[in-house]
Amino acid sequence: MKDFAISAILVALLLGGSPFPKNDPWFAKDKSLHFSVSFTLFNFFYMGTGDKTTSLELTLSVGVLKELVDLTIRKTGFSYKDLLYDVLGTLLAHET
């Protein structure tokens, strides 16, 4: 999983575009959605797989892929802040 995340971030930087989107505040409705969707996705994957490690990897992969879509297709940039909220929601779900 770690290799995938590092590779995805490197691809995002190599594809160009703005790695840091404009108007990307730390506290916004968007951030609470990233947190809550990641929390929910982890639990969904855990119900399906019964394995916390697999659920963690799948959930974080969805978050990274979403940011790659934002960078390449939507052209809004790869938000490391969004990704941090994905990680926080996933980790909270993992620990509960």
Q: State the Cα–Cα distance between residues 35 and 86, nearest whole angstrom.
A: 5
Q: Which helix (H) or strand (E) holds 41?
A: helix 29-49
Total structural domains within the chain: 1
pTM over 0.75: yes
Write out the residue range of the structural domain in which residue 84 sits: 2-95
pLDDT, one tens digit per residue, over 13-24 is: 555 555 566 788
Neighbours of 93 (CB within 10 A): 22
pLDDT, one tens digit per residue, over 25-81 is: 889 888 999 999 999 999 999 999 999 999 999 999 999 999 889 888 888 888 889
